[in-house]
Structure 1
């Protein structure tokens, strides 16, 4: 196998390096500034108060970072990928939880020690002040959202319900900023600290508004997308064809996804990330979804001509990321949709192997299309059926190496349920496939 040196691939690698360098530089510079602000502010009345002040500074910065990770910044999305950004957003969310619990705990402890009063009495006294009360409300909302984001709780909620609850974080941001205005003494040391702090929040909020509201509104006004056809693929899977004006200007690529809304048919807050299930051709877009939540289950009832509001394209799960000429595509269940689109992309070449994992051939969505595309591309297609367990574990390292003996010389793209994706990635690493050749897409998205 030879390495891919296409100009587009080189440009994507360069943008990935730029994105990582920019993000690390942003983190290190801001952490240094936060630490300097803490030093300039001087010690609090006691050790507990000083710790509480420092944790408050870090909390405010991490909250701003949270906004930037989900602001749909092109430099981050194209260079890193929204899937990975969402993972980082989730972990920084847990950091916010600990900071939002520890910051007030140490602040109250500091005041209790200073006043020689009980902890409970000091807390009630402080909570009676409006700025502190707003901080308490923000803390309660964060605890609620994080509790519902824990995997055990998340499984019991529909995507639409979880997404709606997640929107409470915007209320947290508002409450947190107001709290900082009144209580953030370290932000007001001098004109430079004020300029820095409000510049940081202006940048974070501005990026969020631009990426999540202004740019999508402008794009949808330009493209005027509508439902052109609704095609049932099986009992619980449906494809929706969307047309519009000048769709080629979206510069969408096979493997990417959009956030789809159908405002004339469903509530505005009902939004789902669906991958393109066909390579974009500049004239139409196609999504294919399984009826899991309220939104996806209602797609088969969409009237022709329904207005479509789409945000995107997003994601770095594209052929521009590959480094080798040979490609291995692995799909699990409905995760076949971006895999099918990648197989249709003319840039994929002819050295392609496709592994499609399903319970039975009856569950193999778009199988006919995959077979036709594999025939046209000269690709090898393996449909792997049956329950996983015992002797039927195709993604164990030795079994995967048997199916694809030259797996280490290929770029692998895998999309499917989280357990399948994690198993495949673990096996690839066990087989010593370089990380730059592993491209995984998971079904998850932050609000």
Structure 2
């Protein structure tokens, strides 16, 4: 382990912001209000339930419609949520909501077909082609199969066997699923035809979810990119497998990007339109240029070295809650693993990051430590401390155990902790932070997880 130590800068008062708490409260209120509405709908159906089995199927179908609309909001990159809750938590919720959709998709038609099979006095399997003759039901069945494919590719074992680009392309099917599901609900859903009030509810819910998606992922990015006209101005290799891309444009200060945030990046003309990657800013935005630094993991990141100067850039953002806006303490601990150093390095340039700052940077070898020269200059300039933690875990190196963290930063429970790195490392660090009784409000995390 290599360690560089400097004297800390003077501490300054910290603003205590409740932005994340407000976002959580609004989300819970949204969930509870809609769940109450669903129960009222189920209690007052538009037509009688033929039997208990179809009643269970209808109940599950009601909740399936709502959860799918909720999923659209989670993948809609709503700035209010992205900048207060953060990509890490939203991606995790998106994943679990996806599995909830999968099970509802399995159980909803199963109970409906069991109920109708009982009414028609035929077998369950004979009822499937019988119902499939109705076009709305067939569309629902197709949507169910597509959801099954997406669920399978989201299983950890399957994800490890495919590139990020392949996984992302498969999950674009979600938009086809939404269209098929809405058509199925309009023509087949009992609750949709219940009354004018229920129709207004479902149309309003879908309009809100789809409108948020189109606004935040299409219209706003289009307007911003037309305004700023982003272009690649320099491509600089940092290590054998890492590269920095400098991007310039018009009036970049109007993006209001903050150190620690990220954008979703596309390079039209160099990559396919659907290839998009979330890369953090690796330097504090100065209003004139933006810089991203990426490690060659997938085909898109590996191809950044061949980006010609002048290449057009299409960016969505800024997103992310890994900023000083959520600070609660005067002193700070910054933890990074691998290429997760990029937002941490940008945070070191944030003038709002005051007080005593300690940086823990985990890399396999010193040669793998991206931007290490810049880090040393920054910590020296601001009087911070840097610990470069190298070695393999398989060789017994456990730099993020509770004992190791307490040894490196004895007052860790009195600091805000910012963490960015691979999911496995983030899980280990968070487990240690809980063991060291670092309050949740002091933990600011962004892990590398797949997201659409």
TM-score, normalisation: structure 2: 0.96
Q: Matched residues in 1 for 2:335 and 2:293: separation?
A: 17
Q: Matched residues in 2 for 1:3 and 1:422: separation?
A: 30
Alpha-carbon contact 1:350-1:378 (below 8 Å) kept: no
Residues 371 and 95 of structure 1: CA distance in aligned 2, closer, same or farther (over 3 Å)? same
Q: Which deviates further from its counterpart, 90-99 or 419-428?
A: 419-428
Alpha-carbon contact 1:247-1:282 (below 8 Å) kept: yes
5+ long unaligned stretches in structure 1: none
Alpha-carbon contact 2:12-2:354 (below 8 Å) kept: no
Alpha-carbon contact 1:356-1:384 (below 8 Å) kept: yes
Residue number in structure 1 paired with 2:28: 24
- DSSP 3-state at the match of 2:310: coil
TM alignment of 1:385-404, pairs within 5 A: 385-389=390-394, 391-404=396-409
| Counterpart pick for 1:352 among 334, 344, 357 | 357
Q: Are residues 1:443 and 2:443 paired?
A: no
Q: Are residues 1:287 and 2:292 paired?
A: yes
Name the structure, 1 or 2, with higher relative contact order (CA <8 Å, separation 6+): 2
- DSSP 3-state at the match of 2:161: coil
Give how far 1:446 is off.
2.2
Give how far 1:417 is off.
1.1
Q: Matched residues in 2 for 1:83 and 1:212: separation?
A: 18
Alpha-carbon contact 1:138-1:175 (below 8 Å) kept: yes
| Counterpart pick for 2:41 among 33, 37, 53 | 37
Q: Are residues 1:208 and 2:213 paired?
A: yes
Alpha-carbon contact 2:323-2:347 (below 8 Å) kept: yes
Q: Which runs of 4+ in 1 moved over 6 A?
A: 1-4
| Counterpart pick for 1:174 among 172, 179, 182 | 179
* 1:375-412 Cα deviation digits (max 9, x unpaired): 00111111111111464211110111011111111111
Q: Matched residues in 2 for 1:444 and 1:271: separation?
A: 14
Q: Matched residues in 2 for 1:134 and 1:391: separation?
A: 54
Residue number in structure 2 paired with 1:223: 228
Alpha-carbon contact 1:48-1:107 (below 8 Å) kept: yes
| Counterpart pick for 1:332 among 330, 337, 345 | 337
TM alignment of 1:18-417, pairs within 5 A: 18-41=22-45, 43-389=48-394, 391-417=396-422
- DSSP 3-state at the match of 2:199: helix
- DSSP 3-state at the match of 1:154: helix
TM-score, normalisation: structure 1: 0.97
Q: Matched residues in 2 for 1:359 and 1:15: separation?
A: 36
* 1:193-221 Cα deviation digits (max 9, x unpaired): 11111111111111110011000000001
Q: Matched residues in 1 for 2:350 and 2:48: separation?
A: 61
Residues 39 and 281 of structure 1: CA distance in aligned 2, closer, same or farther (over 3 Å)? same
